[in-house]
Amino acid sequence: MNLDSKSFLIVGLGNIGQEYERTRHNIGFDVLDALAKKREVSFLADRLASSLLIKLKGKKIYCIKPTTYMNLSGKALKFWMDSFKIQQENILVIADDLALPLAKLRLRRKGSDAGHNGLKSINEVLGSTEYARLRFGIGNAFDKGQQVNFVLGKWEESEVEAVANGIEQAVNAIELFVLEGCDRAMLKYN
């Protein structure tokens, strides 16, 4: 397979369906929606995902929001990676993270799934943890036994402004990742 070094795959993790819209667990979808809005393009229903293509300074950025639900995110990622012959180092996955403070970003070249089912699925399908991930902090302000409700819950009114700012920073981090590489993006946004 002849891999394309100028093509990138950006995967925003989330769940499809109205009940999941604007929830903490769907921040990957929200970040990609903001990127699409900034670049004035729209997602279309496609195979295993909603997708769009952005061209930016000679680079092709394929953005997908898997329609497989969180636990099967790896299936969608693998299909798109293989279809467009994208190198693993040109993949960036955006996911929510309970361990980070609200709207804090952490970009890494690789890492564990940290209990995140979407990342777990990707790790299993790729047989590797060697792909970049942009974790978006959702905080951990929940009572014992309420983690699932918190993660699948909507943002509090008091969180909306910080989340909007975090999403804007995440969009900028994605563009820098594509244009200048993971190290430069990590330096600026971590």
- Which residue, 107, 121, 115, 117, is CA-closest to 170? 107
User: In the block, which residue shows the tokens 């974790």?
Assistant: 135
User: What's the rounded Cα separation, in Å, for the pair 33 and 51?
Assistant: 11
User: What's the rounded Cα separation, in Å, for the pair 140 and 123?
Assistant: 24
Question: In what helix (H) or strand (E) does residue 160 lie, and over which residues does it extend?
Answer: helix 160-180
25: annotated active-site residue: yes
SS3 content of the chain, % helix, strand, coil (to 5): 45, 25, 30
Which CA distances in Å does 127 have to 78, 116, 131?
11, 16, 11
For 72, list phi and psi in degrees, rounded to 5. Answer: -120, 25
> Active site residue: 25, 75, 104, 133, which one?
25
The catalytic site residues sit at 25
